[in-house]
Structure 1
């Protein structure tokens, strides 16, 4: 009985991270809202600097759970610079953990507060955070003909003009690659064949719009593009078929998950500017990703399987980078909940913060 209870508790390891990450949300939004009001008459650059520090604090707490708490093994390949740069981050998209992997790389360059995402439009309805992510520099986009290039370009140009540090994360596939969704993969491959492009196996055919708009808006401000390929070890079944990667919840409950991350740093001068040529270039980059993933998942040689070519570095994140943020945010939240007035403020922040956030994104839409 005790063994069964222990196993059950172990399988529920995701409860603590979920409780802390959701529980501290009102605290974070209150801190940000207070700074937003205080900085109303101050230079916008000062507001952005402090906002980036606040964002770094929260995301450091996120990384405490997704790195230190899980004991994940991060294996880095390629050329990730030690110093932060203004970059566009292009990666394959396969799991709800992918945005955290961008943070995993950013924290190793002291650029965690500068991470901003190009996101699916429906994510703007997230309680509390939907509106805030846009305020922090996130860009919500719709697919196909509904994609608003002008809006994205205007927002990016505003950040460039203000000299805002940019670690812009884009997933060009537009939707997650799930090996169990055969129709989605077949449709993507059919589209590539129709357009005269190479058919890809382990990634979807990338779309060019967001990448082109981002590069065109930021080309004089960028240092480089990071072409990132991610593989999760242990996602192949007994028959050698690739399985769906772990979700955020599964990742937190998994036994020492292992992630392989390959980074190619591409100088901006090596990226074609015209859309038609950039489209071909982007597809070629995804062909390289596909070859890396074919070797990782399908190599007949067991010695080459479950690894990328080249030397890897086992990168461990120090508690000094994450634990202080956890203690600060959880401590402030606990302090608020200890008083009746604090509990009322906490609940009102959840309710009214969500309603006001939804109203704001509706007006912008």
Structure 2
């Protein structure tokens, strides 16, 4: 076992893996370029082919996480919701704290057979990154500039194009907008306090506009919202380099599926928090902000205790 671990940490193995990934990725990107000829003839066929080609790239990174490093990701969810995963389009809201968050998100999509067609709301600059960025472009990923006046129109148009997408997909959103750090958390909670919003211990204050426009644009196409929280055991701080070196990590992914009736179709007004019990501000159920929402969170945590079957 020590010999295998030593082998995985060798630079030559890393070089071979990178060579295979880059070579195969560029070949697949070239094939994707040729599929553009199909777009004016048969758009749905173009999409189905690119889903398969995209899978050939992203599955290599999932393999790196699950097989090469042997990392484990246990899903905790309501057993009643588990059978629907992968059989419906869904918006996946995931916290952004670790370097390999996206790999765990891809692992979730792979587990339920929707990796090839899954989407993400990503920065526009990533579209120019060879292999992965180009792959995302051909699979109609949604890109944003983080400037709301520009994104209001472009993001909405990109999302509306996905309404007739032929494959099932997960649409991943990091509502925090940036990776969690203690400094960012301190600034974020100062903003939350100034706006009278609940204080969060392990998350940044979420940005609601991107989520709201996604829900509104994909309403009646997306069947559910998966509220996901990812954490690693024993205070592990996973990195891509650690995965490449074959280091095993142990992740827990908590997935909650709130009622669609409680999902907002628009962003809440400034200073008026959205409460899952009924909507922005003080809802019909008597929500009064932080106290109500914190009670709601502790009450719903019991539904996460059930571990879904592998």
Which range, TM-score by smaller chain?
0.7 to 0.9
The secondary structure found in structure 1 opposite 2:257 is strand
Question: Take 2:88 and 2:216, find their aligned partners in 1: how far apart are those partners?
Answer: 17
Question: Take 1:74 and 1:314, find their aligned partners in 2: how far apart are those partners?
Answer: 12
1:11-26 aligned at under 5 Å gives the runs 11-12=9-10, 15=14, 16-26=16-26
Which residue number in structure 1 is paired with residue 47 of structure 2? 48
Instruction: Answer whether contact 1:173 1:204 (CA < 8 A) is retained.
Output: yes
User: CA 1:146/1:275 → structure 2, altered by over 3 Å: closer, same or farther?
Assistant: closer
Which residue number in structure 1 is paired with residue 160 of structure 2? 157
Q: 1:233 Cα shift? A: 1.6
**Per-residue CA shift, 1:93-141, capped at 9, x if unaligned?**
1123112212211122211112111012332331243243133121221
User: CA 1:288/1:94 → structure 2, altered by over 3 Å: closer, same or farther?
Assistant: farther
Question: Take 1:276 and 1:270, find their aligned partners in 2: how far apart are those partners?
Answer: 13
Instruction: Answer whether contact 1:189 1:200 (CA < 8 A) is retained.
Output: yes
Q: 1:33 Cα shift? A: 1.9
1:280 partnered with 2:274 = yes
Instruction: Answer whether contact 1:74 1:314 (CA < 8 A) is retained.
Output: no
1:205 partnered with 2:205 = yes
The one of 222, 225, 238 equivalent to 1:246 is 238
Which residue number in structure 2 is paired with residue 77 of structure 1? 76
The secondary structure found in structure 2 opposite 1:266 is coil
Which residue number in structure 2 is paired with residue 173 of structure 1? 176
The secondary structure found in structure 2 opposite 1:75 is strand
Question: Take 2:130 and 2:298, find their aligned partners in 1: how far apart are those partners?
Answer: 39
Q: 1:269 Cα shift? A: 2.4
1:138 partnered with 2:141 = yes
Question: Take 1:62 and 1:73, find their aligned partners in 2: how far apart are those partners?
Answer: 14
Question: Take 1:156 and 1:131, find their aligned partners in 2: how far apart are those partners?
Answer: 18
What is the aligned-residue RMSD (CA, Å)?
Answer: 3.2
Bigger helix fraction: 1
The structure whose Rg is larger is: 1
Question: Take 1:269 and 1:110, find their aligned partners in 2: how far apart are those partners?
Answer: 27
Aligned residues: 285
The secondary structure found in structure 2 opposite 1:114 is coil
User: CA 1:200/1:17 → structure 2, altered by over 3 Å: closer, same or farther?
Assistant: farther
**Per-residue CA shift, 1:307-328, capped at 9, x if unaligned?**
x96133574xxxxxxxxxxxxx
Which residue number in structure 2 is paired with residue 263 of structure 1? 255
TM-score, normalization by structure 2: 0.80
Unaligned residue ranges in structure 1 (runs of 5+) = 237-244, 296-307, 316-365
Q: 1:203 Cα shift? A: 1.0
Question: Take 2:296 and 2:97, find their aligned partners in 1: how far apart are those partners?
Answer: 13
Which residue number in structure 2 is paired with residue 32 of structure 1? 32
The secondary structure found in structure 2 opposite 1:186 is helix
Which residue number in structure 2 is paired with residue 87 of structure 1? 90
Question: Take 1:288 and 1:114, find their aligned partners in 2: how far apart are those partners?
Answer: 37
Which residue number in structure 2 is paired with residue 342 of structure 1? none
Question: Take 1:290 and 1:144, find their aligned partners in 2: how far apart are those partners?
Answer: 31
1:312 partnered with 2:302 = no
Instruction: Answer whether contact 1:227 1:265 (CA < 8 A) is retained.
Output: yes
